[in-house]
Amino acid sequence: MAPRIDRRRLLVGAGGIAGALGLAACTPYPSPDVVEGPWDAGVASGLHAHDAAVLWTRFAPAVLGSVDVDWEVAADPGFTQVIAAGTTNVDGSTDGCVKVLAEGLAAATTYWYRFRVGELTSPVGRTRTLPAPGDEVASMRLAVASCQRFSAGWYPAWRHVADTDLDGVVFLGDYIYESTGKVNPLWDVRDDPSERAEDLGTYRAKYRLYRTDPDLRAAHAAHGFAPVWDDHEFADNYDRVRITEESERAAAAYRAWFEYMPVWPIDGTRIHRGLRFGNLAHVSLLDTRQYRDANPEADMLQVTSVPPASVVHEPDRTLLGTAQRDWLRESLGAARDDGVVHNVIGQQVMVAPIRAIDLDEPVFAGVPEHAGLYFNLDQWDGYSAERDRLTAFLHDEGITDTTILTGDIHSFWQSPIALDMEDPRSPVVAQEYVCGSVSSMAVGFLPDVAEALGELVSGFAPSFRWIDWKNRGFGLLEATPESMQVRFVTVDPRWRASSPVTAVTFDRATGSEAVAVTT
């Protein structure tokens, strides 16, 4: 049991901290140059349901002992109409992180929230509940982001997201990077003084460091997030075998993620879940890490016709795990039966194959189906039977108007996903959009190489409509009953004040396989 702090002494001490650091007045989100004293990580909210939202903050002095924290939800930014309120206790067992589920809210409604300890008041956050299932919804606007290595760049992407009118933010993983903070002179623009994350304390320190960025705090305070993790929240390219081998480290990594993310726990370390936007869209958020079978020893540029890489074509090999796969099928089927227009799948690694050479044609009889020279087996390419199961299910069950949102590889891609990715005549079952990275670099520090690599890969199978290895940024998705539009927005993270540029817009009419591309 953590010691309980005397409330009077706490307020005096925290007040001194706030005064020394310039505690800001309550605003819709923090100003760029203010550290929020005892509320040093700002506030955040999570998309949860049509009648509830997850609210989050960190009260730093609580690491010294337990504290009662009051919270309020209001219909206006001045808090003259308080809709819900309560008190929760926090202490060092969660690193001072406060998380509550505010329930009994109205559907599709914008709210403001804040936290209090005595006279100390947190910054004000803004959030929005989901539309109720079955409601007629005219539009849905989401930002889509991933991969924000702290030292690799500033976060102008988050500043723009904070200033954009949205229904929420889908974050597809790599919120932190577990690796050491040593600056790389080729692309890093700011120092990361933190240690390599290997235990609970060092994972928590990573989250605290990332939340010092004012633009990230601004985005959290402006919109509800729907986050999932990828690999760097634990360890690069991990799988379920590594979780078993490093169980204590994995448990620490997952615990820190749940402490710092505005996500309400479901069951243990499960993060796959669904969000319903009325009759317009259903968003399925997946976990392609903790249930996956072992990665090949080398995941880049592998020939998969012979061992050991041929393991990636085994028919029982899984990326999602049986329970998550069954849940996804049930979720997509329920949305279809309810007449939902758009199915959106948010997940981490690219579904479309990046295959340089096809080795399973008849001339190469005897090799496994889908064998070839693959660019990256950490993606669905390393689990070809799982991809076949997904595309067959979408086709056979009539799951139409499916959009797949992807992160992970620090670049922008767009491709149709077909029932048979090797047959150009095969029916298209989904469209995939890889929405870049907030700051993490691919090969953009070598622009000529980035352009040449894009041209080279564009000739691989399947044919990609868009490849951009050079730029970083995020995606903006807007769905209506008539269409689905996705924009790739680029920024230059080398400069904190970089302005966003829409590089390309993809438009697809509902019920159509065709995608119009505008640059």
Residue 346 pLDDT: 98
Q: Are the C-beta atoms of 275 and 267 separated by less than 8 Å? A: no
Residue 298 pLDDT: 73
* pLDDT higher than threshold 90 for residue 333: yes
* pLDDT higher than threshold 90 for residue 278: yes
Residue 455 pLDDT: 78
CA 358 distance to own-chain centroid: 32
In this predicted structure, which of 350-359, 451-460, 497-506 has the lowest mean pLDDT?
451-460
Q: Dihedrals φ, ψ of 126, to 5°?
A: -125, 140
* pLDDT higher than threshold 60 for residue 435: yes
Residue 36 pLDDT: 58
Mean pLDDT value across residues 424-442: 95
* pLDDT higher than threshold 80 for residue 273: yes
Residue 442 pLDDT: 85
User: Over the stretch 39-62, which tens digit does the pLDDT of each residue have?
Assistant: 999 999 999 999 999 999 999 999
Residue 112 pLDDT: 98
Question: Using 50, 70 and 90 to split pLDDT, how confident is the model at 225?
Answer: very high
* pLDDT higher than threshold 60 for residue 111: yes
User: Over the stretch 449-483, which tens digit does the pLDDT of each residue have?
Assistant: 778 777 777 777 667 999 999 999 999 999 999 99
Q: Which residue has the higher pLDDT, 188 or 168?
A: 168
Beta strands in 80-227 (DSSP E): 82-90, 97-103, 110-117, 120-121, 125-128, 140-145, 168-171, 224-227
Terminal-to-terminal C-alpha distance of the chain: 59
User: Over the stretch 6-24, which tens digit does the pLDDT of each residue have?
Assistant: 433 343 334 333 333 222 3
Share of the chain above pLDDT 90, in %: 81
Mean pLDDT value across residues 238-261: 98
Cα 429 from Cα 444, distance rounded (Å): 32
Q: Dihedrals φ, ψ of 205, to 5°?
A: -60, -35
Compute the CA torsion angle 90, 265, 285, 384 (nearest 10 deg). Answer: 120
Residue 453 pLDDT: 78
Beta strands in 164-239 (DSSP E): 168-171, 224-227
Question: Using 50, 70 and 90 to split pLDDT, how confident is the model at 448?
Answer: confident
Domains of the chain: 10-129 (2.60.40.380), 142-291+321-352+399-518 (3.60.21.70)
Residue 34 pLDDT: 45
With 0-12 / 13-18 / 19 or more C-beta atoms within 10 angstroms meaning exposed / middle / buried, residue 478 is: middle
Mean pLDDT value across residues 311-315: 96
In this predicted structure, which of 28-42, 163-177, 258-272, 285-299 has the lowest mean pLDDT?
28-42
Mean pLDDT value across residues 492-497: 94
User: Over the stretch 412-423, which tens digit does the pLDDT of each residue have?
Assistant: 999 999 999 988
507-518 exposure pattern, b = at least 16 Cβ within 10 A, e = fewer: bbeeeeeebeee
User: Over the stretch 342-354, which tens digit does the pLDDT of each residue have?
Assistant: 999 999 999 999 9
Mean pLDDT value across residues 265-290: 98
The mean of the pLDDT values for the chain is 91
Question: Using 50, 70 and 90 to split pLDDT, how confident is the model at 32?
Answer: very low
From residue 256, alpha-carbon distances to 38, 250, 271 in Å are 19, 10, 14
Angle at 166 between CA 258 and CA 133, to 5 degrees: 75
Residue 301 pLDDT: 86
Mean pLDDT value across residues 309-316: 95
* pLDDT higher than threshold 70 for residue 364: no
User: Over the stretch 120-129, which tens digit does the pLDDT of each residue have?
Assistant: 999 999 999 9
Residue 357 pLDDT: 87
Cα 161 from Cα 223, distance rounded (Å): 9
* pLDDT higher than threshold 90 for residue 381: yes
Residue 345 pLDDT: 98
Residue 182 pLDDT: 72
